[in-house]
Amino acid sequence: MQENKEIWMVQTKRADFNGLAMRLGVSPVAVRVMRNRGLVNEDEMRRYLYGTLDDLYDPLLMKGMEQAAELIGRKLKERKHIRIIGDYDIDGVCATYILLQGFRRAAEKLAQDFLTVPGQGNAWTGNIEENSTELGKGRMNVMIDYEIPDRIKDGYGINESIIRQAASDGVDTLVTCDNGIAALKEISMAKQLGMTVVVTDHHEVPMDEYGQILPPADSVVDPKQEGETYPFHEICGAVVAWKLIKVLYGKFGIPEREWMELLEFAAIATVGDVMKLQNENRLIVKYGLKKIAETKNRGLRGLIEKNNLDIGNLSAYHIGFVIGPCLNAGGRLKSAKIALRMLLTENPEQAGELADELKELNDMRKDMTAKGEEEAIGQVEAQYMDDKVLVVFLPECHESLAGIIAGRLREHFHKPSFVLTRGETLVKGSGRSIEQYHMYQGLCGVAELLVKFGGHPMAAGLSLEEKNIEEFRRQLNAKADLSENDFVPRIWIDVPMPFEYVNEKIVQELKDLEPFGQGNEKPMFAQKGLMIRNLRVLGKNRNVVKLNLVTEMGHPVDGLLFTDGDRFLEEQAGRDLIDMIYYPDVNEYNGTRTLQAVIKNYKFHG
């Protein structure tokens, strides 16, 4: 954090804060925070505060859902070979797991209802670690397996080699999850080879001048379709899969509580895929975190233990910044199948080994990212400080880390940032943007230099020939309509709230607004003109500053700031008046509870 390098802005949305507070049974501060998160009326706020899993939307409202569940149910009854095609990130892994477990349970129910294998009863055979599950023998033989593309070799989504392999393996039905909506050519090929295809996805549907172009699948479930009747479109691929399993279970008479056992994976994917924690996403995560506390999944429990987390006290932060990166690390550096095998195994020893492997891969990924980040920042500081759009070429960087490093560059310089790496034949890159720059449109403006590209306003991916890197950088900058003001971060304050107003009831009320994350950001409050009575730098790495402050009204405030302590002392340089943006919390030590301000940003006077 750098002093005076950002603009502080106060939210000014209007509402009857006092009236709503009285009717909802909360303080006007909580109402103001909800209003700042885009909630407009009393019903929305009541659902936000008091909503339960009963408030989730009916999956049958989603276009294509009934048809997809009907088709899959029929294929299970006909004992057809079904293959799930997932993706290599956390959403794809969780979606694959949900579909695999759901289809497996539905097939098992069929066996219980219609089949008894002589001498065995109702038995699963086959080896789930080999990507497949086979139910029963003789008269009832249902093969359900999966494939996840390799990030480097295959790239994103279903592809021609996966389809040819499925045809060779005698697969009857392909079910995609977290991919497929843009795979028009590939799904046409699968249809020509005689396969049934069900697409479940959540990404934007491709468009031409006439409107959306859907793939020629037998059924398409994607809440971003035209004419969609599902009330909330911003769910992840794993939630689409989870909703499909609910409908399938209904058709097979499987109790809803069994469907709820998959909730935690829908929640993990929602956070890990950085979906907005609004509407039903927030309910899925809120109750999914509680579900994780009692999870029966050996692999998930092992991963939480390996990271020294308290399973009974997990937040969205722990999923987003600890568990999620571990689940993603396999797909980044080795294979996403490691994470899926970990979630699928019933063997405690194997669960522990796979959790260890994912944690080690993530630790390696963190080291590689830190090295790449340092190199990228050094490159910008040496050559590109005057550029509006940063383009950094790190030839030796692992291509799966380009997006993470681009995000770090954007945070450091508050400029749109691209990180390019050397692939097998082409240079590949990922970009992360700021609100003022539409990254996808920026790439459209230099399309003639690119072999392939795609994305949206805040992020993009591309490939180009190495000889075109300098021209790519030059043209992007020449065409970027950005001013110096666009590079100054804006910090949004919910309420300029004097610390005199803070009490334990307010702190608890703010905790009730969790889970916080994308789209439901942690509330921020501000107070000016606090006197620093004394301060201490703590921690082995001197990265914690403990401050004793006093307000203009003479009210004492304990402040806690996580930053480079020695740098803070240099910035202070004898100044003893400070403004702060903070979040109120309770510090409990030796049985004594005291209010404290966790300081997020600060400015010195003078």
Asked if residues 428 and 402 have their Cβ atoms less than 8 Å apart, the reply is yes
Contact 597, 583 (CB under 8 A): yes
Q: What is the pLDDT of residue 127?
A: 38
Q: Minimal CA–CA distance to 85: which of 183, 17, 11, 14? A: 183
| pLDDT (mean) for 437-454 | 92
How does pLDDT run across 310-361, given as a tens digit for each residue?
999 999 999 999 999 999 999 999 999 999 999 999 999 999 999 999 999 9
Q: Residue 605: what pLDDT?
A: 86
| Average pLDDT of the residues in 106-121 | 67
pLDDT confidence of residue 455? 80
Q: Are 22 and 70 members of one domain? A: no
| pLDDT confidence band for 118 (50 / 70 / 90) | very low
Would residue 251 count as lying in a domain? yes
CA angle 306, 307, 309 (to 5 degrees): 110
We report the CATH number of the domain holding residue 421 as 3.10.310.30
Tell me whether residue 472 is in a domain: no
Whether 304 is in a domain gets the answer no
pLDDT mean over 117-140 = 43
Q: For residue 180, give the CATH number of its domain.
A: 3.90.1640.30
- Is pLDDT of 200 > 80? yes
Distance CA(357)–CA(343), nearest Å, equals 13
State the amino acid at position 74 in one-letter form: R
From 413, 440, 456, the end of a domain falls on 456
> Is residue 131 very low, low, confident or very high in pLDDT (cuts 50, 70, 90)?
low
Nearest to 94 by CA among 298, 358, 336, 260: 336
| In a domain? residue 349 | no
382-398 pLDDT, tens digit per residue, is 999 999 999 999 999 99
Non-local (6+) Cβ contacts of 465 within 8 A are 426, 427, 451
Last residue of a domain, one of 401, 436, 456: 456
CA distances 93 to 18, 68, 434, Å, are 45, 20, 29
Q: How far apart are CA 463 and CA 449, in angstroms?
A: 9
- Position 154 scores a pLDDT of 80
| Amino acid sitting at position 471 | E
Looking at the 3D structure of the chain, how many domains does it have? Answer: 3
CATH number, domain of 496, equals: 2.40.50.460
Rg (Cα) of the chain, in Å, rounded? 26
Q: What is the distance in angstroms between the CA of the first residue and the CA of the last residue of the chain?
A: 19
List the helix and strand counts (H, then E) for the chain: 21, 21
| 595 and 513 housed in the same domain | yes
Q: Can you list the alpha helix ranges (DSSP code H) found in 132-193?
A: 160-168, 184-192
2-6 average pLDDT score = 57
Tell me: pLDDT of 586 over 80: yes
- Do residues 17 and 109 both lie within one domain? no
Q: Which residues contact 109 (CB under 8 A, 6 or more apart)?
A: 252, 253, 254
List the strands of the sheet with 82-85, edge to edge: 124-125, 132-135, 142-147, 82-85, 173-177, 196-200, 219-221
pLDDT band of residue 77 (cuts 50, 70, 90) is: very high
Cα–Cα distance measured from residue 509 to residue 26, given in angstroms and rounded to the nearest whole number: 7
Q: Evaluate whether 421 touches 454 at the Cβ level (below 8 Å).
A: no
Residue of 151, 138, 69 lying closest to 106 (CA atoms): 69
Note the residue count of the chain. Answer: 606
- Give me the pLDDT at residue 206, please: 87
The pLDDT tens digits for 522-577 are 999 999 999 999 999 998 899 999 999 999 999 999 999 999 999 999 999 889 99
CB-CB contact of 104 with 195 (8 Å):
no
DSSP string, 345-413: ---HHHHHHHHHHHHHHHHHHHHHHHHHHHHHHHHIIIIITT-SSEEEE-TTS-GGGHHHHHHHHHHHH
Instruction: Tell whether 12 and 102 lie within a shared domain.
Output: no
Q: Are residues 424 and 275 in the same domain?
A: no
Grade residue 3 by pLDDT with cuts at 50, 70 and 90: very low
What digits encode the pLDDT tens for the residues 521-537? 999 999 999 999 999 99
pLDDT at residue 464 tops 70: yes
Beta-strand relationship, 417-422 and 390-393: parallel
Asked if 397 and 405 count as a contact pair (C-beta separation under 8 A), the reply is: yes
Q: What pLDDT score does 139 carry?
A: 42
Mean pLDDT of the chain: 92
Tell whether 395 and 543 lie within a shared domain: no
pLDDT at 246 over 50: yes
CA distance 157 to 180: 6
Are residue 15 and residue 132 in the same domain, yes or no?
no
What pairing do the DSSP bridges indicate for beta strands 211-212 and 142-147? unpaired
100 has which bridge partners?
A: none
Q: Which residues pair with 430 in a beta bridge?
A: 419, 461
Share of the chain above pLDDT 70, in %: 95
Please give the distance of CA 347 from its chain centroid, rounded to a whole number. 28
Count other Cβ atoms within 10 Å, centred on residue 278.
19
Closest by CA position to 182, among listed 153, 145, 143, 224: 224
The predicted-structure confidence for 496-513, as pLDDT tens digits, reads as follows 999 999 999 999 999 999
The residue type at 280: E
Say yes or no: 11 and 129 in one domain: no
Strand partners, 7: 490
Residues of the chain with pLDDT > 90: what percent? 86
pLDDT at 364 exceeding the cut of 80:
yes
pLDDT greater than 70 at residue 129: no
Q: Residue 570 — left, alpha, or beta (φ > 0 → left; ψ -120 to 50 → alpha)?
A: alpha
Domain holding 544, by residue range, is 7-50+490-604
Q: Quick one: angle between helices 90-114 and 263-272, nearest 10?
A: 160
Return the pLDDT at 119.
Answer: 43
Query: Do 41 and 150 reside in the same domain of the chain?
Result: no
Specify the DSSP class assigned to residue 523: P
Residue 337 forms part of a structural domain: no
Residues 599 and 512 in one domain: yes
Structure tokens at 100: 């695999």
Please indicate, yes or no, if residue 550 is contained in any of the structural domains: yes
What CA–CA distance (Å, rounded) separates 518 from 317?
10
Whether 534 and 590 share a structural domain: yes
**Would you say residue 569 lies in a domain?**
yes
Query: Within this chain, do residues 104 and 242 fall inside the same structural domain, yes or no?
Result: yes
- Asked which of 276, 292, 308 is the last residue of a domain, the reply is 292
Structural domain includes residue 439:
yes
- Tens digits of per-residue pLDDT, 258-306? 999 999 999 999 999 989 999 999 999 999 999 999 999 999 999 999 9
Q: What is the mean pLDDT of residues 10-23?
A: 95
